[in-house]
A and B are shown apart, each in its own frame.
Chain A
Amino acid sequence: MEDRKNYSRKATLSLKISEFEMPPMQDLLIIGRRAPIGPEAVRRMAEALSPEQFSIVRVEHPKIEAVLVRSSLLQMLEERVLINIIIEEAEAMISDTMVLRSELKVAVSVQREVDMS
């Protein structure tokens, strides 16, 4: 009883606030075949958050079901080339239950020579 008199319960709150990135999925989402979220759900989410900016590309791969790609990237590079590179880099680290997000920037460097005469 004596101990009970000194009993108290307290809660400590910790609050972290940061800006919500728009869109939260950056440039790419690589979706595993048994991931908790499937390609259609990802497509609908992307469409709701950033209308007409992302495309779903379904792939034939034992672990990867589809890739969500920022549509502007597909305008810069051929889809097959881009997807093959993404799969090559992702397949070593992804499991079929995972969804990976990735940033992908394309920088084009040009050097030209012109005739001075």
Chain B
Amino acid sequence: MKVGEEMTRTVYSVTSDRSVLHASDLMGMHLIGSLLVVDSGAVVGIITSRDVRSTHPNRIVADAMTPNPIQVPEDTFVWDALNVMKQHGIERLVVYSDEGSPAGIVTREKLASRLAEWTDSMTGLFKAPYIEAIANAWLSSGETFHFLFVDLNDFGSINKKYGHPVGDDLIRGFAEKLVSVFGQEASLCRYAGDEFAVLTRNSASFVRSAIDTLSSGLSVGPAKLTASVGWMDMSRIADRDALTFRELVMRASLLSTKYKPAGKS
């Protein structure tokens, strides 16, 4: 789930004083769409097949390249790298190794298609492995965060009473509510059928107020839905250093079950 696993490791380069025609020939020879521009061992730019097509072949690479390309370390999460690309409106990112040297290139297309595999098609939220990867990274780095396990109450009976299309509408509606409550700062996922998970580094007071909003429920036509939330505040967990993601989910899901309305859990 990190760019190091998705990047093209074979990096071809050209110096900035070579002609665009030479860069084009190199790309054709190696069947690649971009070259790093390296002068005296330092990355000074990136030239793509689009640059080549729009520039006179007699020009030097320095006059066709994008200077100072955005670079990210190998351990950057795929979704973070994709956000960087969106922010800067670019199609390629240079990935550098721990030693600081260029290790590879990733394209937006590759990351987007990889990310689509981890996206829940019904809600647009990510699937469980997404949360797992982030939680593991935060657990190992000792970060303080909140983990919420959200379980929709009595969802099975809603499906039986109103039909599955209404149930699907409620799932989608609840996902939208999660996004509106937590915004872009939190990591949200549809963990399983009617279960969601949230990772956030927001304040405890924000989380408390978010839980109140989520618990207030959601209506689609005559169908009404409430949710139970298991909340793990990592700053209050004594054995947090030994905690695994599996244990985190287990405790939070048991908490959400504990607080389900009587007779519903």
Binding site for B on A (CB under 8 A): 34-41, 44, 97
Q: Tell whether, in the assembled complex, residue B56 and residue A34 are in contact, meaning their CB atoms are under 8 Å apart.
A: yes
Q: Pull 24 A–B residue pairs with CB atoms less than 8 Å apart, ordered by A.
A: A34-B55, A34-B56, A35-B59, A36-B56, A36-B58, A36-B59, A37-B56, A37-B59, A37-B63, A38-B55, A38-B56, A38-B59, A38-B60, A38-B62, A38-B63, A38-B64, A39-B63, A40-B16, A40-B60, A40-B63, A41-B63, A44-B17, A44-B62, A97-B56
The answer for the CA separation of A97 and B58 in the assembled complex, in Å, is 12
Which chain B residues border A37 with CB–CB below 8 Å? 56, 58-59, 63
What is the chain A residue whose CB lies nearest that of B65?
A40
Question: Smallest CB–CB gap between A88 and chain B, Å?
Answer: 25
The answer for the CA separation of A44 and B16 in the assembled complex, in Å, is 11
Q: Tell whether, in the assembled complex, residue B56 and residue A41 are in contact, meaning their CB atoms are under 8 Å apart.
A: no
Residue total for B at the interface (Cβ-Cβ under 8 A): 10
The answer for the CA separation of A34 and B53 in the assembled complex, in Å, is 11
Question: Smallest CB–CB gap between A35 and chain B, Å?
Answer: 7
Closest 8 CB pairs of A and B: A38-B63, A40-B62, A36-B58, A38-B59, A41-B60, A36-B56, A40-B63, A41-B63
Which chain A residues border B63 with CB–CB below 8 Å? 37-41
Question: Smallest CB–CB gap between B123 and chain A, Å?
Answer: 44
Which chain B residues border A39 with CB–CB below 8 Å? 63
The answer for the CA separation of A97 and B63 in the assembled complex, in Å, is 14
Binding site for A on B (CB under 8 A): 16-17, 55-56, 58-60, 62-64
The answer for the CA separation of A41 and B56 in the assembled complex, in Å, is 12
Which chain B residues border A36 with CB–CB below 8 Å? 56, 58-59
Question: Smallest CB–CB gap between B18 and chain A, Å?
Answer: 11
What is the chain B residue whose CB lies nearest that of A34?
B56
The answer for the CA separation of A36 and B57 in the assembled complex, in Å, is 7
Given contacts A36-B56, A37-B56, 16 further A-B contacts (CB under 8 A): A34-B56, A35-B56, A36-B58, A36-B59, A37-B59, A38-B55, A38-B56, A38-B62, A38-B63, A39-B63, A40-B16, A40-B62, A40-B63, A41-B60, A41-B63, A97-B56
A35, A36, A41 interface centre (most CB from chain B within 10 Å): A41
Which chain A residues border B59 with CB–CB below 8 Å? 35-38, 41
Question: Smallest CB–CB gap between B214 and chain A, Å?
Answer: 50
Which chain B residues border A97 with CB–CB below 8 Å? 56
The answer for the CA separation of A34 and B58 in the assembled complex, in Å, is 10
The answer for the CA separation of A41 and B254 in the assembled complex, in Å, is 67
